[in-house]
């Protein structure tokens, strides 16, 4: 006969002076008990599909609302549990100009910035009743303040400044080519596209060359974004793929806002027009569409966002 197991309804840190029950505190237990009780309260949760007009064809992001009471360890553990490219946590802002603060986790750790989580989290925040202080939405994250706007039924963010740009050295490009399974000469152009995740962008001969790649993910020296142009008259200007080492989480990101932002800063207005649509996720059976616009010194990256799951989370 199996022994009955007592399954707790929530998990919480046990500290001296903290109340250990998830039931509401009584009058004589408050106020010290209130903090412990709040840790057990369910948090609103949404999963948002980003960068596709077709159901379940974009890149999902898990968004936890009101996450100020969670520890770093709880956030990291939940991100590992969802096993999505990114999981985000909405918190009260600390900067006077920000509407909210966002923390972004992959299964492998925290990121200072990422694109599709920025759009998906803004969508979730607005849907939950968030109202920007000005016409634009201002997100606070580790990389700084990121501005978002709503236009043509899409959300778009202004690409943050690159932490690192310019040519990648030859030794690194040889290692990247080897990890992608191509000759060094197959890389037509390359540059650092680092706005947080550490991307190096490599341009191949065309979109088909990008779709034909079969990387050795464990051999990747850095996160790599591959880009190739489509011909005249195609629906999209480029095909993009985003490759990561296994310890960072999923080895290919379905649709990547940060990488597309950096590619826009690198190539829009020269190799690419000032305004174009990028395709990503094709090799994974997705249909991501990323809208990129260079407006003066700014590059805006946008896409459709749709809530697919709504509920509550108890950690």
Q: Which tens digits make up the pLDDT trace of 190-202?
A: 999 999 889 999 9
**Which residue spans of the chain are classified as CATH 3.10.310.10?**
43-158+304-308, 170-297
Q: Give the pLDDT confidence score for residue 249 in this predicted structure.
A: 82
Q: Give the pLDDT confidence score for residue 2 in this predicted structure.
A: 34
Give dist(CA 18, CA 36) in Å, integer: 6
Helices and strands, counts by H and E, the chain: 6, 17
Is the pLDDT assigned to residue 131 strictly greater than 60?
A: yes
Question: Has this prediction a pTM greater than 0.75?
Answer: yes
Mean pLDDT (whole number) for 245-256 = 93
Is the pLDDT assigned to residue 30 strictly greater than 70?
A: no
Give dist(CA 133, CA 171) in Å, integer: 48
Q: What top-level class would CATH report for the domain 43-158+304-308?
A: alpha beta
Confidence band (pLDDT; 50, 70, 90) for 28?
low
Q: If we measure between CA atoms, which residue out of 71, 55, 110, 69 comes closest to residue 87? A: 110
Mean pLDDT (whole number) for 146-164 = 95
Q: Give the pLDDT confidence score for residue 14 in this predicted structure.
A: 23
Q: What top-level class would CATH report for the domain 170-297?
A: alpha beta
Confidence band (pLDDT; 50, 70, 90) for 151?
confident
265: left (phi over 0), alpha (psi -120 to 50) or beta: alpha
Q: Give the pLDDT confidence score for residue 17 in this predicted structure.
A: 30
List Cα–Cα distances, 69 to 43, 80, 158, 250, in angstroms.
Answer: 10, 19, 29, 28
Confidence band (pLDDT; 50, 70, 90) for 244?
very high
Residues 6+ apart with CB under 8 A from 102: 88, 89, 90, 91, 117, 118, 121, 139, 140, 141
Residues 6+ apart with CB under 8 A from 223: 197, 198, 199, 200, 242, 243, 244, 245, 248
Q: Give phi and psi for 190, each to the nearest 5.
A: -155, 150
Q: Give the pLDDT confidence score for residue 15 in this predicted structure.
A: 29
Is the pLDDT assigned to residue 11 strictly greater than 50?
A: no
Mean pLDDT (whole number) for 223-230 = 98
* Three-state DSSP class for residue 83: coil
pLDDT in tens, 105-115: 999 999 999 99
Mean pLDDT (whole number) for 74-101 = 97
Active site residues: 86
Q: Give the pLDDT confidence score for residue 315 in this predicted structure.
A: 85
Share of the chain above pLDDT 70, in %: 87
| 60: β partners | 49
């Amino acid at each position: 006969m199996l022994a009955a197991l007592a399954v707790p309804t929530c998990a919480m840190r046990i500290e001296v002076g903290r109340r250990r029950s998830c039931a509401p505190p009584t009058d004589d237990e408050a106020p010290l008990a209130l903090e412990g009780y709040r840790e057990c309260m369910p948090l609103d949760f949404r999963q948002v599909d980003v960068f596709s007009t077709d159901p379940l064809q974009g890149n999902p992001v898990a968004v936890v609302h009101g996450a100020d009471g969670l520890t770093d360890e709880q956030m990291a553990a939940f991100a590992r549990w969802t096993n999505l490219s990114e999981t985000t946590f909405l918190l009260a802002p600390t900067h006077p100009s920000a509407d909210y603060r966002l923390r972004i986790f992959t299964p492998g750790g925290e990121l200072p910035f990422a694109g599709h989580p920025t759009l998906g989290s803004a969508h979730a925040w607005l849907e939950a009743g968030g109202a920007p202080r000005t016409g634009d939405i201002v997100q606070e994250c580790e990389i700084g303040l990121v501005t978002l706007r709503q236009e043509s039924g899409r959300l778009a963010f202004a690409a943050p400044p690159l932490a690192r740009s310019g040519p990648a050295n030859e030794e690194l490009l040889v290692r990247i080519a080897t990890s992608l399974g191509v000759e060094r000469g197959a890389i037509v152009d390359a540059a650092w596209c680092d706005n947080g995740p550490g991307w190096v962008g490599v341009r191949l001969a065309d979109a088909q060359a990008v779709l034909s790649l079969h990387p050795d993910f464990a051999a990747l020296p850095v996160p790599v974004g591959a880009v190739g142009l489509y011909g005249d008259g195609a629906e999209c200007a480029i095909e993009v793929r985003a490759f990561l080492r296994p310890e960072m989480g999923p080895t290919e990101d379905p649709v990547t806002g940060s990488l597309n932002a950096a590619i826009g800063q690198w190539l829009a207005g020269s190799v690419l027009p000032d305004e174009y649509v990028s395709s990503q996720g094709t090799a994974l059976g997705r249909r991501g569409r990323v809208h990129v616009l260079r407006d003066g010194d700014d590059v805006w990256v946008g896409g459709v966002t749709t809530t697919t799951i709504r509920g509550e989370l108890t950690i």
